[in-house]
Every structure is written in structure tokens, then in C-alpha cells.
A and B are shown apart, each in its own frame.
Chain A
Amino acid sequence: MLSLYASSILAASFWTDDAVHTALIVSTGAALVCGIVGVFTIIRGQSFAGHALADMSSAGGAGSFLAGINPLFGFLAIALLSAVTMELADLRQARERDLAAGIILGAGLGVTALLLYFDVTTKSTTGAAVSIMFGSMFEIPASIIPFLLGIGVLALSLLAIFHRPLYFCSVNSELAATQGIPVRRVGFIFLVILSLSVTLSAMAIGAILSTALLIAPAAAAMRLTKRLWFALGLSAFIGISASWAGIWLAYSSYDWTRGHVWPVSFFIVTILFIIYLASGLPQLIAKLHFGTDRYKTTQSFGGS
């Protein structure tokens, strides 16, 4: 019995563990999609919309627990529904958009509170709240992977098809409109892409934290390069690296916490935060050396 136990905690077990396999696949898919979509989200100034969509999708996650289905489908359904609601609200100005998103977000979280209450009082699911809000990467069943990858492929395909009008509208929507681009429809398509992305991220690191994977890698990448294609690649790379490192650290925490495993999402989000801080260093060094803001990358990126 003891030898079996010892062999299961050897370092090599990381690569043979089924739960780790699933976690690596899910987080890679989520980080790739979010990394790329995140850059567009920042250019479009819709970070808060992304956060609101993710928060509202938690109601779907809680409902899924109640219905006994995988939270993925609840996250997806409510995120898409919220995107449609935000589109119907038809708010052009950023300030109004944030207000509407904030109010819809509050209503969504309120529904989550009620559904989670039903979860724990009528069903015998103890960890539902933490799992929905902060993710349970090691508990994702392998059977859900095809659906997750399908959502990722759909999001990236939509982005590939519409990236030109999207980018154009983001940089200068008035000019885009005069060129005959349906600015509003393009905006809605982006909301759909955003919904698909936060669904993936919510599965990986939880509904509340999912914007971290959407915004942080993209923000760090955009401080380091001004070129769109580089930023997309770097953002995906940062997201995937942080996810893999976070999963490895969480898995290893078993050895230094006496049989506990600290939440994967804690490690991933912390690593992303450190990377974001570090991405400001080149700018800071340049400022100290030359006394000027020669590398004002974020501000100059793509205009706004």
C-alpha cells in the first residue's frame, strides 16, 4: 500500500496523471483563445464587458450544478445570453456601456447567489460555489475536452474571418462606418467571440477570475511590443506559460502542504500579475536611463 502511495507522488507522476493531462489541455485551449481575443478586447476598450460576461456566466455554472450537467454548458448559455442582452441595450458611449454592464452583472450575480443557495440546500454538492467562482481545474472530466476545443475553434474562426473589420472598427469606428462596414454588427460578433472566450476561461480558472486570463496576458504583451501580430503571439504564449506553470506549482504544492493542493487559479493569477508587473520594467528602465517616455507602448498601441 505504501509503495503504491510513494510511487504516485514521485515527480514523474505529473506527466502521467489523468487530471493533469486534462488540466493542461483545457488551460492551453483557454489561454490561447483568451490571449488572442484579449488583445482585441483591450484595443476595443471592452475589458469590463468581458468581466461582466464572465461574472454573469457564473449563474449558468450554478444552474448547471442544479441540473446535474457540466458547468461548461451553463457558462456558455448565459454568457451568450448576456452578450445578446448587452447588444439589445444598444449603448454606444463607453460610459453608458460600463453602467449597463455593471447593472446586468449585478443582476447575474444575484441569480448566482440564489442558484448556489438551492445547490447546497437541495443537492448534496458541497464545493459548488468555490468550483464555479474560482475553478476546479483538476476536477474537469476528460469527456468535456471535445466541447471545449470546439468552442475555442469557433471563437478563433470567427476572429479570423472578421479580424479586418474588427480591427478597423476598433481603431476608428467613424471612419469604418463611412467605408460601409456595419459597425454595430461587427460589435455584436465581437461580443459573441468574447462570450466564447470567457466561457473557456471560466472553465479553467473560474467565472470570477476568468478575466485575468483574458486581460493580463494581452496587457503585458501590449506593453512589450507595438506590432499586432507579435502582440497576439506573445499574449497567447504568456497565457499558456502562466497556466502550465500554475498547474505545475499547484500539483507540486501537494508535497509542501501535507496532502493539500492549493487552488490552481491562485497560482495562475499570481504568475500573470507578476508577469504584468515585469512587463512594465523595460518602460521603467528606459525612463530612468533617458528621462523620457520613449516606450509609450500601451498608449500608442492601435490608437483609440
Chain B
Amino acid sequence: MKGVHSVRVIMLFFFVLGMPTAWCESQKPTIIQAVGIENEYADVIAQIGGQYVNVTAIITDPNTDPHMFELSPKIAAQIAAADLVIENGLGYDGWADKMLSVAPKVDRKVINVQRLLGLNDSTPNPHLWYDPKTMPAVVALLTDDLIALQPDHAAYFRANQAKFEASLTPWLAALAALKKDFPGSPVAVTEPVGDYMLDAAGLNIATPYSLELAIMNGTDPAPQDVTFENKLFSAHKVKALIYNQQVTDPLTEAFLNAAKKNHIAVVGVYETMPVPGYNYQSWMLAETNALRDAISENLSTQSLARGVH
């Protein structure tokens, strides 16, 4: 009897001892489990969080249409376990919100980029990461959230934030130079993917917006718009065609061929960060340099895959 009793006491002791320890651990995990729904956001989390985060990207394949993404139970589990999530919003990843609400977690930090930028739901173009104002705002909130999760490493996160902001400078400079050297150059597009970047570079998007939306949403474009777009190429009204590599159909291929036939430079853009070989900053810089090559020297850069031009 006596032996059994002492075992109970010891068990109780460990139980009482263990409770607050387990509780503390859930409050301050040593490694933050983070999810960037799109891989460009995951990349930025990794850059700021460094060794203290374990990041998972959900949308990573630059060869399929992210608007058509399908969920799997594995992804649901990854999102459910996350301490920190960055989602784009604007219906681009609306399923992520649902996943988060069915698997609540205490102290989970969720950054919704649409809400962060104060955009209302009717904003038609969801490709927010092409806007040079977006990532600095995301990173500012991300750093605050990381510090809230791990206050001990505040200095580390702040240093990474500063490093990130400094590394954006070449891209911002390239955009400013493009705006200064070739103001209002007319360009054609297939989809609104790169539109925020084109606006920031001061270029003039000649494609009817209704055509961009029709191609993005997979509805049939108006023949009037198609004729208009074709005339942009045949009449040499544009300096370049900005072509979404990830969403192609016979129509966008016809535009691609029309541009080539009329010797108009083609710039391939992506919705999802092309990996390996790029981080967010170098990806954006590569797109902007390709744009400049097209406008200044009529050079095409169809693919950003390393070594293929």
C-alpha cells in the first residue's frame, strides 16, 4: 500500500509540475509554425523570421492557375497547426479563411493583405504583391506579430526587417528609372497579373480592362475587345505584351503569336514566385528588368526560369 501511495504522490508531483510547463510552451513555442498561402508571402516570412520560424507555402506551382487551387486534408492540417498565417484576400485564397475559422488556435496571428491595405472586396485585381507598396506594409505587421509571439527575439526580427527593406531598393530604383526614362509607354497585357507593377512603372496599359478580367475569370471575352487587342499588335500601338505564363488558353496563345509576328517584345509574368532561383525581391527586379529590356531594346523575356531566356 505504501509503495503504491508514493507512486501516486510522485505522479501528482510531475502532473502539477508539468502543467504550467506545457502551458508555457504553447504560449511561447521555440519554433513558430508559419504558413504563407502564396509562396511569395512564405518567402517573406522566412526572410524576417529566419531561424525561429518553420514556414510552409501552399500555392507553389507556377505552372498551374492559382485561381483554380484545390484543397487537400494535408494542407488543412498545416493551416490548422499554424501560429502565423499570411493570406492574400480578395477571393484569391478565400478558402484559407474558412480553414482558419474551423480550426481556431489561441494567439494565432493572421495577416490578410487585402484588409491590411484597406481594400474593399470589389477591388478587381487581386495580384497585390506586384504593388511595390504592398510588401513593406506586410513586413511591418509581420515583424510586429513575430515579436508578439517571441518577444525575446525582437532585435533579430527588427534587423531582418531593416535588411529586407534595404534589399527592395534595387527594384524600386528600377521602377523609378523606367518611369523617368519611358514615361507612359503603351503596353498590352493578357491578364491584370502585373498591372500594379506596370502602374508603378508609369506605363500605359492599352488593353481593355474588360478583356483582362474576362481572361482572368475564364469567361468568354468580347469579340470587340479581341479585335481591339489584335489591332494593338498589327498597328504597332504597343511596345510590349505582358503575358501571364500561368493562365494560357488558345486565345492568349493567339495574342502571343500576334505579338511575335509583329515583332513586339513579350514579357512573361507569373502569379506564383518561380522557384528555385528567386526570392521576392529578385523576382520583382527580374520582371522589371525584363520590362525595361522589352521597352528600350525590344527584347523578349518569355520565361524567368534560370538559364532560359
Contact = CB atoms under 8 A, between A and B. Distances in A.
A179 interface: no
A93 interface: no
A260 B231 CA distance: 19
Contacts of B208: 5, 259
A121 B67 contact: no
Interface in B205-223: 206, 208-211, 214-223
B58 to A, nearest CB: 14
Given A4-B237, A9-B224, A126-B65, 11 more contacts: A1-B206, A13-B227, A125-B249, A126-B68, A127-B249, A138-B223, A251-B223, A254-B224, A259-B210, A259-B222, A261-B224
Interface in B169-223: 186, 204, 206, 208-211, 214-223
Contact of A20 (B64, B65, B67, B223): B223
Given A5-B208, A121-B68, A261 B221 contact: yes
Contacts of A128: 218
Contacts of B70: 121
B63 interface: yes
Given A8-B228, A8-B231, A13-B227, A122 B64 contact: yes
B190 to A, nearest CB: 11
Contact of A259 (B225, B231, B250): B225
29 contacts: A1-B237, A4-B231, A4-B237, A17-B227, A18-B227, A120-B65, A120-B68, A124-B246, A124-B247, A124-B249, A125-B218, A125-B249, A126-B65, A126-B217, A126-B218, A126-B247, A127-B219, A128-B218, A130-B218, A131-B220, A138-B221, A138-B226, A141-B254, A254-B224, A260-B214, A260-B219, A261-B220, A261-B223, A263-B220
A139 interface: yes
Nearest to B271: A124
A258 to B, nearest CB: 7
Nearest to B228: A8
Contact of A123 (B64, B186, B217, B218): B64
Nearest to B249: A125
Nearest to A140: B250
Interface string A230-268: 000000000000000000000100100011110100000
A120 to B, nearest CB: 4
Interface in A18-45: 18-20, 23
Nearest to A1: B206
B250 A141 contact: yes
Contacts of A8: 224, 227-228, 231
A47 interface: no
Contacts of A23: 223
Contact of B227 (A19, A122, A131): A19
Interface in A169-228: none
A138 B227 contact: no
Contacts of B162: none
B235 interface: yes
Contacts of A1: 186, 204, 206, 237
A21 B250 CA distance: 18
B159 interface: no
Given A1-B186, A124-B63, A260 B222 contact: yes
A46 interface: no
A218 B228 CA distance: 38
B70 to A, nearest CB: 6
A139 B67 CA distance: 22
B125 interface: no
B271 to A, nearest CB: 10
Contacts of B223: 17-20, 23, 138, 251, 261
Contact of A261 (B217, B222, B249, B254): B222
